[in-house]
């Protein structure tokens, strides 16, 4: 049976059973805007699957942070169990792509030794609105909009490590399972969200992910 999009509520298109892998500082201008150098080695981190929420689900600002930032990102959804994937075989293990927001408690990221709390708190990984399975990711516009205002406007062509290289690099560290998600890094323009805001990630060829920001 078919339903109109406006008549249904979309859930997160995937809840990874094992992990969301984040990639830090994969855009030169974003690394520099936060005063960081581009890392010589890939900078990887994990977000637990309990961080994942879907389209229009509220992002709940954690009690322990006063500085939560948005990060609009292209996300890769893995389709097959794999390990040590050569770059030229990466397409074989990719199921598709979706939009994501790698919400980050910037203050805690600076003060905690690990990024676990800063990057992994509940609701810190909105994904959606769906998974696009047929997509050329060489040069796609990535926009992040805060309350309708464009704050991030980049392209996947600006990635230091592209999608295939990231799948290869990540799979050297972790066995990837079907449904695992790689968040590929954010373009420049990040900023803070506050209670009452709405943040949207729109990626060319995929669609738009929108979430309200709340504090409880
Ligand atoms: Mg990020």
- What's the 3-state SS for 116-173? HHHHHCCCCEEEEEEEECCCCCCCCEEEEEECCEEEEEEEHHHECCCHHHHHHHHHHH
Per-residue confidence band for 80, with pLDDT thresholds at 50, 70 and 90: very high
Span from the CA of 23 to the centroid of ligand 1 (angstroms): 6
Residues 6+ apart with CB under 8 A from 8: none
Angle at 64 between CA 60 and CA 69, to 5 degrees: 60
Span from the CA of 25 to the centroid of ligand 1 (angstroms): 7
The confidence score (pLDDT) of residue 118 equals 98
User: Coil, strand, or helix at residue 213?
Assistant: strand
Estimate to the nearest angstrom the gap between the alpha carbon of 119 and the chain centroid.
11
Per-residue confidence band for 208, with pLDDT thresholds at 50, 70 and 90: very high
Beta bridge partners of 95: none
Span from the CA of 189 to the centroid of ligand 1 (angstroms): 12
The confidence score (pLDDT) of residue 82 equals 98
The confidence score (pLDDT) of residue 66 equals 97
The confidence score (pLDDT) of residue 88 equals 98
Span from the CA of 71 to the centroid of ligand 1 (angstroms): 6
pLDDT tens digits, 103-135: 999 999 999 999 999 999 999 999 999 999 999
For 142, what's the count of Cα atoms within 13 Å in the CB-facing half-sphere? 29
Per-residue confidence band for 190, with pLDDT thresholds at 50, 70 and 90: very high
Per-residue confidence band for 204, with pLDDT thresholds at 50, 70 and 90: very high
Span from the CA of 216 to the centroid of ligand 1 (angstroms): 24
pLDDT tens digits, 1-47: 899 999 999 999 999 999 999 999 999 999 999 999 999 999 999 99
The confidence score (pLDDT) of residue 86 equals 98
In this structure, which residues have their CB less than 5 angstroms from ion ligand 1? 71, 102, 186
Span from the CA of 184 to the centroid of ligand 1 (angstroms): 7
Other beta carbons within 10 Å of 212: 15
User: How large is the average pLDDT for residues 196-216?
Assistant: 97
User: How large is the average pLDDT for residues 182-191?
Assistant: 98
The confidence score (pLDDT) of residue 105 equals 98
Span from the CA of 33 to the centroid of ligand 1 (angstroms): 13
Beta bridge partners of 77: 96, 181
Q: What is the rounded CA–CA span in Å between residue 30 and residue 47?
A: 20
The confidence score (pLDDT) of residue 151 equals 98
Residues 6+ apart with CB under 8 A from 6: none
Span from the CA of 186 to the centroid of ligand 1 (angstroms): 5
Residues 6+ apart with CB under 8 A from 30: 185, 186, 187, 188, 189, 190
Picking from 53, 99, 54, the residue whose alpha carbon sits closest to that of residue 75 is 99
Span from the CA of 84 to the centroid of ligand 1 (angstroms): 23
The confidence score (pLDDT) of residue 103 equals 98
User: How large is the average pLDDT for residues 143-170?
Assistant: 98
Span from the CA of 4 to the centroid of ligand 1 (angstroms): 33
Span from the CA of 102 to the centroid of ligand 1 (angstroms): 5
Span from the CA of 3 to the centroid of ligand 1 (angstroms): 34
Span from the CA of 89 to the centroid of ligand 1 (angstroms): 25
The domains of the chain, with CATH numbers, are 5-215 (3.90.850.10)
């Amino acid at each position: 049976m078919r339903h109109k999009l406006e008549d249904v509520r979309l859930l997160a298109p995937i809840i990874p059973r094992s992990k969301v892998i984040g990639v830090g500082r994969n855009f030169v201008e974003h690394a520099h805007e936060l005063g960081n150098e581009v890392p010589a080695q890939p900078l990887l981190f994990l977000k637990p699957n309990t961080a994942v929420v879907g389209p229009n689900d509220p992002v709940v600002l954690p009690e322990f942070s006063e500085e939560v930032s948005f990060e609009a990102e292209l996300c890769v959804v893995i389709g097959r169990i794999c390990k040590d994937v050569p770059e030229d075989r990466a397409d074989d293990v990719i199921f598709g792509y979706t939009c994501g927001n790698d919400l980050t408690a910037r203050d805690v990221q600076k003060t905690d030794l690990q990024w676990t709390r800063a990057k992994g708190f509940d609701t810190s990984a909105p994904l959606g609105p769906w998974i696009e399975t047929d997509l050329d990711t060489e040069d796609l516009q990535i926009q992040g909009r805060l309350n309708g205002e464009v704050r991030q406007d980049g392209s996947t062509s600006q990635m230091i490590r592209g999608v295939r290289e990231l799948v290869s690099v990540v799979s050297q560290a972790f066995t990837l399972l079907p449904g695992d998600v790689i968040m590929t890094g954010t373009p420049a323009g990040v900023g803070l969200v506050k209670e009452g805001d709405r943040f949207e990630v729109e990626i060319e060829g995929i669609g738009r992910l929108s979430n309200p920001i709340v504090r409880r």
